[in-house]
Amino acid sequence: MFPRAFGDSDPMPISVTLVFAGKTVVLADPSGGTFDAAGDFDRLLPMENQLPVQGAPDLPTLGRIDAYADVEFSPDDMAAIRDEAVALLQLAKPGPEARGLKRLRVLAEHGAQMPGAVLRVEAD
């Protein structure tokens, strides 16, 4: 997880990885290079520690992410995650937030083709 200062009570950013056969999957990054995790888009998720983003789409699958608990999504959830990530891209700030959503989309697309894979969301 990401380091934080002692006494900081705000939750840490979420990190999403695709795990298959107990190993984190490394993929080609849509922005260049490779990557093994997606993040930096917490602001757009309907979590209890976030203010609602005006115009945000309904997120029945990504809305299950909790700022304080880990969540795992199965391949059955991956198409919905891909679609919700694409919908959120319209609201994303350029830079890390948009790159994080593009990475999430790639993870979900790849994971949908891997029976037994999980998208693991690690929170605070």
**Alpha carbons 11 and 67: distance in angstroms, whole number:** 6
pLDDT in tens, 98-114: 999 999 999 999 999 99
Closest to 101 in 3D by CA, of 32, 51, 37, 34: 37
pLDDT value at residue 107: 98
Q: Is 72 part of any domain?
A: yes
Nearest to 36 by CA among 105, 107, 97: 107
Report how many domains make up the chain.
1
Instruction: Note down the domain range covering 110.
Output: 25-122
pLDDT in tens, 75-96: 999 999 999 999 999 999 999 9
pLDDT band with cut points at 50, 70 and 90 for residue 17: very high
Q: Can you read off the two tokens belonging to residue 55?
A: 């115009």
pLDDT of residue 54: 73
What's phi and psi for 81, nearest 5 deg? -65, -45
Does 92 fall in a domain? Answer: yes
Within-domain flag for 96: yes
Strand blocks (E) in the chain: 15-20, 23-24, 27-28, 34-35, 38-39, 71-73, 118-122
In a domain? residue 34: yes
Q: Would you say residue 6 lies in a domain? A: no
Long-range contacts of 109-115 (CB under 8 A, 24+ apart): 109/78, 109/82, 110/18, 110/25, 110/27, 111/18, 111/20, 111/25, 111/75, 111/78, 112/75, 112/78, 112/79, 112/82, 113/75, 114/18, 114/20, 114/25, 114/75, 115/75
1 located within any domain: no
Question: What average pLDDT does the chain have?
Answer: 87
pTM of the model: 0.86
pLDDT category of residue 8 using cuts at 50, 70 and 90:
very low
Residue 10 covered by a domain:
no
| 31 φ/ψ angles, rounded to the nearest 5 degrees | -100, 0
Establish if 5 belongs to a structural domain: no
Dump pLDDT digits (tens) for 36-58.
999 999 999 987 666 567 777 88
